[in-house]
Amino acid sequence: MYLRKFDLSGRVAVVTGAGQGIGLACAEALCEAGAAVVLTDISAERCEAGRAALAAKGYVVETDLIDIGDSASVNAVADRLAVSGRAADILVANAGIAHAGVPAEELSDADWERMIGINLSGAFRSCRAFGRHMLAKGRGSIVTIGSMSGTIVNRPQQQVHYNAAKAGVHHLTRSLAAEWAARGVRVNSVAPTYIDTPLLTFAKEDKPMYEQWLDMTPMHRLGQPDEIASVVLFLASDASSLMTGSIVAADAGYTCW
């Protein structure tokens, strides 16, 4: 009875930013659970690399290009799937960027607006585009990728724009959950710790900062993409049917201190 709740057979799942890292791991987890996965990314090269990586494991996925900074781009993919009779049942709004190391008083308007435009507004554009079709069907599950940075202020790096954007993603998640619950669409978020992905390359090159991160983490390690994908799978599936508006920490205990 219980394991069947994780079965996603017959469902269409869209993952943004799925060419690498957390997004690619989420795509693999959803494939393993039986979903028909649409792997999307802004980069055609990453899309193909992700498709090939999953094909090597025996999974066949559809790929498409999405620029979450452009509503027309996001809407086009959501609408195309709906017109073909395959409107998304699941959305993993994962695409985003990272940028740190700039004091708030020196942060440019361009850097602020790019961060908010992609990490927060991009998440909203994705939820809106695919959520419309879920609402029309009366069912769906959306999982946003937030961050522990949406809950706490990281040290030692200065990243006010990233923290603000991820806090916004958390409250976007709750707000959509409240609006759409009665219409059959659940919206939850995962708030990861530092995850060992290409976005973290800069940190490993700064050994003192990297060591400080580990010292501030009770489990004293980075997370792995598959550890976030497992949480996403739970939230996407019927195993979490009573949950909406939840921000699930997967942070190796970082926010305990």
Q: pLDDT tens digits for 1-26?
A: 899 999 999 999 999 999 999 999 99
How confident is the model over 155-171, as a mean pLDDT?
Answer: 97
Q: Report d(CA 123, CA 22) in Å as an integer.
A: 15
CA proximity to 157, closest of 203, 221, 211: 203
Residue 67 in tokens:
């620029």
Tell me the pLDDT band of 207, cut-offs 50, 70 and 90. confident
CA distance 22 to 98: 13
Cis peptide before 156 (omega within 30 of 0): yes
Place of tokens 């060992």: 196
**Confidence (pTM):** 0.98
Cα separations (Å) of 194 from 57, 133, 232, 255? 26, 33, 16, 12
Burial bucket for residue 6 (CB in 10 Å: 0-12, 13-18, 19+): middle
Calpha distance 143→205 (Å, rounded):
31
Question: pLDDT band at residue 198, thresholds of 50, 70 and 90?
Answer: confident
> pLDDT band for position 203 (50/70/90)?
confident
Indicate whether 195 pLDDT > 90: yes
Q: Report the pLDDT averaged over residues 136-159.
A: 97
Confidence label for 212 from pLDDT (cuts 50, 70 and 90): very high
Distance from C-alpha of 21 to C-alpha of 194, rounded to nearest angstrom: 12
- Cβ neighbors of 96 (< 8 A, separation 6 or more) are 17, 118, 119, 122, 123, 145
Amino acid at 106: E
Each residue of 92-129: pLDDT tens digit? 999 999 999 999 999 999 999 999 999 999 999 999 99
Which of the following is catalytic: 162, 194, 210, 254? 162
**Residue 201 in this model has a pLDDT that exceeds 80:** no
Most confident of 76-85, 191-200, 204-213: 76-85
Q: Residue 215: pLDDT above 90?
A: yes
SS3 39: strand
Share of the chain above pLDDT 90, in %: 94
Domains of the chain (ranges, CATH numbers): 3-248 (3.40.50.720)
Contact 15, 23 (CB under 8 A): yes
Known catalytic membership, residue 162: yes
What CA–CA distance (Å, rounded) separates 77 from 233?
22
